[in-house]
């Protein structure tokens, strides 16, 4: 059986074991949006032995820092990162939860300071686990965000 749904890349980052359906949010987290120049391929809802179904994202020609990659855990806690050089995996790791994130989550509280466009302020969230769920807590107003994927900037 051919499991390779997306072709091999020479150099770049493969993000595997993304929670099924979350690939687009992962792209958002690592800063890939319409107009981006990188070569990106992805597969959604493909079979996975470990997870039933999963998404995969491959990014060529862009260096992504570990801090940025670890943010993926906010929406896809089981994601694995593979760094590729000359078609070979030179490094592999599981994403781990950041303790805090700046700028990438938008506070759902309209009256929060971090949503005031006049002010030089960036959102800032502390990441916590509550009953096994990942939540983000706004440093400014204290609001808890349970569905982080919905509130990515």
Partner 1 sequence: MSKIRHLISIDDLSRQDIEYILKKADNFVEVAKGKKSLKILSGKILANLFFEPSTRTRMSFETAMKRLGGDVINLGSLEATSLAKGESLADTLRVVQQYADCIVLRHQREGSARFASQICSVPVINAGDGAGQHPTQTLLDLYTIRMEAKLKNLKIAMVGDLKYSRTVHSLIKALALFNAEIYLVSPELLKLPEEILEVDARFIESDLKTAIDEVDVLYVTRIQKERFPDEEEYRKVAGSYKITSDMIEGKDVVVMHPLPRVDEIAYDVDRLKNAVYFKQAFYGVPVRMAILSEVMS
d(CA 23, CA 30): 11
Count how many Cα atoms sit within 13 Å of the Cα of residue 80 in the half-sphere of its side chain. Answer: 11
- In whole angstroms, the minimum distance from the beta carbon of 115 to partner 1 comes to 8
Q: Does 83 bind Zn ion (CB under 5 A)?
A: no
Q: Does 127 bind Zn ion (CB under 5 A)?
A: no
Residue with smaller CB distance to Zn ion, 78 or 137: 137
Main-chain phi, psi angles of 44, to 5 degrees: -115, 145
Among 59, 69, 81, 107, binds Zn ion (CB under 5 A): 107
Site for partner 1, residues 39 to 58, rule: CB under 8 A: none
- In whole angstroms, the minimum distance from the beta carbon of 111 to partner 1 comes to 5
d(CA 89, CA 43): 19
C-beta of residue 105 within 8 angstroms of C-beta of residue 98: no
Q: How many CB atoms lie within 10 A of CB 25?
A: 19
Among 114, 125, 127, 145, binds partner 1 (CB under 8 A): 114
Among 34, 119, 131, 132, binds partner 1 (CB under 8 A): 119
Among 41, 48, 80, 109, binds partner 1 (CB under 8 A): 109
Eight-class DSSP state of 149: G
- In whole angstroms, the minimum distance from the beta carbon of 114 to partner 1 comes to 6
d(CA 6, CA 120): 42
Among 109, 124, 135, 152, binds Zn ion (CB under 5 A): 109
Residue with smaller CB distance to Zn ion, 15 or 127: 127
Max CA pair span of the chain: 56
Q: Does 140 bind partner 1 (CB under 8 A)?
A: yes
């Amino acid at each position: 059986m051919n499991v390779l749904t997306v072709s091999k890349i020479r150099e770049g980052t493969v993000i595997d074991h993304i929670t099924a359906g979350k690939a687009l949010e992962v792209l958002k987290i690592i800063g890939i949006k319409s107009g981006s120049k990188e070569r990106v391929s992805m597969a959604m809802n493909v079979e996975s032995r470990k997870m039933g179904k999963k998404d995969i994202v491959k990014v060529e020609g862009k260096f992504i820092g570990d801090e940025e990659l670890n943010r993926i855990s906010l929406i896809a806690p089981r994601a694995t990162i593979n760094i590729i050089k000359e078609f070979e995996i030179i490094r592999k790791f599981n994403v781990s939860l950041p303790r805090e994130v700046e700028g990438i989550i938008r506070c759902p509280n309209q009256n929060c300071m971090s949503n005031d466009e006049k002010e030089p302020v960036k959102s800032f969230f502390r990441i916590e686990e509550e009953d096994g769920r990942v939540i983000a807590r706004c440093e400014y107003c204290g609001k808890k965000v349970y569905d982080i994927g919905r509130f990515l900037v």
